């Protein structure tokens, strides 16, 4: 019986360019490295013999030295060997990270327990044999697991055999997250592998914890890095116990702390209060300073409600680590607002202009949006003028 930790898709140094505030961006980036410390704790508590990382340690084949230095510092704190393969993000191609002198030197001195497996050759341990399938180019048309099919696995004896690979299994694989286009599909034909001779397939690329076959699991990313798809469970590592010929025992263990929340609201004139309440509820558990929210707003709001809504949204945008607002709210002046603008016997021009705009909005012409904006402006100007009178 061998117990080890299966993790993947750390994607350290991910830009999170969608976060406009540089300080918040740094916080989110730093959280991915902090999460490695929780992996270390898991290793200790579960008495794991080693850690396998199924690709994409880094978000890019050219991470900054700061990211590399921070990452290797924390990896070096893990008290067991860490076996990692390059994935499509940090592929082992030319000019990539793994051959940069800085990385080589830092790894040797600060994280000697990190073994980056750049060759398709088995790694022999007393308690297991690791069969790495590194991605050596940005894109491979050949299945990186092919070499295992030609291998005489009998030589491994009774040690459990662990395949370490990064790619799509056809059903699951990396997906675009809005900031990062999905990389080229590296398809793993895991069904073609001699599954009887293999005891566990530690897979990377799919960011949620997921079983991909009888003995195949995606661990998902250790810290959520995007708004997850429905049912996806990012922010975990897999604690795996294997033995030769037996079925693996796989347990997801949470390591992520950030909450990525997606919410959609259909709003009326109580828009501001609803948004306030919804966001407060959604961020209560993780804390607003650890939440990233995608807010899809729809519905129809009056001019005044819109102004109030804008105020609340602005407040939350500064509180949260990230707030993406997909604002599809339709601005519809209320009957009172329209009256306020149109029923002006003493201001014949203003009244007629407002009537024309209302007419355009009601006609739903192509210019309706511009007319709504114009009404909003006109409303503001009237209030401003009346206030000065």
Using CB under 8 A, list all residues that contact other proteins.
13, 15, 17-18, 20, 59-65, 67-68, 93-95, 97, 100, 102, 137-138, 179-180, 344, 346-350, 352-353, 356-357, 367, 369-371, 373-374, 376-378, 381-382, 385-386, 389
The two beta strands, 322-327 and 291-301, are parallel
- Pick 62 or 192: Cβ nearer other proteins: 62
DSSP-derived pairing of the beta strands 200-204 and 210-213: unpaired
The burial of 132, by beta-carbon neighbours within 10 Å (0-12 exposed, 13-18 middle, 19 or more buried), is given as buried
The nearer residue to other proteins, 247 or 377, going by C-beta atoms, is 377
Rounded (5°) CA angle 32-37-38:
90
What's the Cα-to-Cα distance from 240 to each of 6, 130, 159, 216, 284, rounded to whole Å?
7, 14, 15, 11, 32
C-beta of 94 vs 318, nearer to other proteins: 94
- Hunting for tokens 């100007």 — which residue is that? 381
Q: How near is the Cβ of 389 to other proteins at its closest, in Å?
A: 8
Residue 292 phi/psi, 5-degree rounding, is -125, 125
Rg (CA), the chain: 27
Whole-number Å distance between alpha carbons of 362 and 188: 56
Starting at the earlier edge strand, list the strands of the sheet with 123-124.
Answer: 123-124, 129-133, 161-166, 200-204, 216-218, 210-213
Q: How far is the CB of 243 from other proteins (least distance, A)?
A: 41
Nearest approach, Cβ of residue 130 and other proteins (Å): 27
Judged by beta carbon, residue 11 or residue 219, the one nearer other proteins is: 11
CB of 357 to other proteins, least distance (A): 7
- The least CB distance from residue 15 to other proteins, in Å, is 4
- CB nearer to other proteins: give 93 or 213: 93
Rounded to the nearest whole angstrom, what is the least distance from the CB of residue 374 to other proteins in the complex?
Answer: 4
Q: How far is the CB of 100 from other proteins (least distance, A)?
A: 5
CA-CA distance, 270 to 305, in Å (whole number)? 7
Return the number of the residue (171 or 384) whose C-beta is nearest other proteins: 384
Residue 158 CB-density burial (10 A; 0-12 exposed, 13-18 middle, 19+ buried):
exposed
Asked if 311 and 17 count as a contact pair (C-beta separation under 8 A), the reply is no
Rounded Cα distance between 374 and 353, Å, is 10
């Amino acid at each position: 019986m061998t117990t080890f930790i299966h993790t993947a898709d750390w994607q350290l140094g991910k830009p999170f360019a969608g976060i406009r505030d540089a300080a918040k961006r740094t916080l989110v980036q730093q959280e991915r490295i902090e999460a490695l410390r929780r992996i270390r704790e898991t290793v200790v508590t579960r008495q794991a013999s080693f850690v396998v990382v199924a690709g994409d340690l880094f978000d890019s084949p050219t991470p900054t030295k700061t990211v590399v230095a921070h990452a290797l510092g924390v990896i070096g704190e893990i008290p067991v060997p860490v076996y990692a393969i390059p994935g499509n993000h940090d592929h082992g191609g030319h000019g990539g990270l793994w051959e940069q002198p800085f990385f080589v030197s830092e790894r040797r001195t600060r994280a000697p327990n990190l073994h980056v497996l750049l060759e398709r050759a088995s790694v022999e341990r007393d308690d297991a044999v690791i069969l790495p399938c590194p991605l050596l180019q940005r894109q491979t048309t050949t299945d990186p697991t092919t070499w295992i099919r030609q291998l005489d696995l009998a030589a491994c004896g009774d040690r459990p055999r662990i395949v370490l690979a990064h790619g799509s299994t056809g059903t699951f694989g990396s997906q675009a997250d809005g900031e990062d286009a999905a990389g080229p599909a590296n398809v793993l034909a895991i069904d073609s592998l001699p599954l009887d001779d293999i005891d566990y397939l530690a897979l990377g690329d799919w960011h949620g914890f997921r079983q991909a076959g009888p003995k195949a699991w995606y661990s998902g990313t250790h810290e959520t890095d995007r708004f997850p798809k429905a049912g996806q469970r990012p922010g975990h590592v897999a604690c795996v116990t294997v033995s030769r010929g037996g079925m693996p025992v796989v347990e997801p263990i949470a390591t992520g702390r950030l909450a990525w929340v997606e919410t959609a609201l259909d709003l009326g004139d109580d828009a501001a209060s609803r948004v306030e309440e919804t966001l407060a509820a959604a961020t209560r558990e993780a804390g607003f300073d650890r939440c990233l929210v995608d807010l899809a707003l729809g519905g129809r709001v009056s001019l005044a409600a819109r102004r109030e809504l804008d105020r609340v949204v602005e407040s939350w945008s500064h509180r949260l680590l990230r707030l993406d607002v997909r604002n599809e709210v339709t601005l519809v002046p209320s009957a009172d607002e329209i009256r306020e603008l149109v029923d002006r016997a003493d201001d014949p021009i203003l009244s007629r202009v407002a009537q024309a705009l209302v007419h355009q909005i009601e006609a739903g012409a192509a210019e309706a949006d511009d007319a709504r904006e114009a009404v909003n402006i006109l409303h503001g100007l009237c209030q401003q003028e009346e206030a000065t009178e």
